[in-house]
Structure 1
């Protein structure tokens, strides 16, 4: 008699094969063809990389969405953050850090994804002033 908790050696010897359904292949193909559209402002990237936590990951997702939507304002979906290895709570913390750094502005509403707007590029003289003061 077979019980799910028993260790049958016969069950271990059964070969298994993952089957990919046609709609899964189509979905995987679309993801493989996506890319990060440039240009990405170098100074913004540097500023985001010096922020704590997953801020650089969230900034890359924001740059990706900017390239896809061709708009500076869009919804930041937590499902897309998960694809980049960012959990929802960590994403919100990183988004707040990006907002405090002056890279994005965010409109939050209860029960909705945040609306993110990429702010204008950082000027080089602003960055050098901040370096001289000791902060980025």
Structure 2
């Protein structure tokens, strides 16, 4: 049996470990968008958007209100993800790319999660400059 931890990208981690209600919030809004459109907003398709067929009719919704709802739903799931990292319910590993590029993976402390900037579409985390 392998001693390696389970490895997955951020999208899979969100779907696996975050509150189902947060995921459902995103699914319920994604149906109004094509997956390609979600990518232009900086979000991956968690499963609610279509890759080929037309999105659901907006009915009484406006594009602006749906986009705002999508942004809020993503803020909610990323807050859940951040809190889980801080409580060390899951652990991150990554390769440092700045200020110097590294080749070796290393653990990313969950205590730093409050300062993380998540790009789930690119599967990257930005910690930002130290001491600012």
Q: Which has the higher helix share?
A: 1
TM-score range, shorter chain: under 0.3
Max Rg structure: 1
State the TM-score, normalizing by the size of structure 2. Answer: 0.27
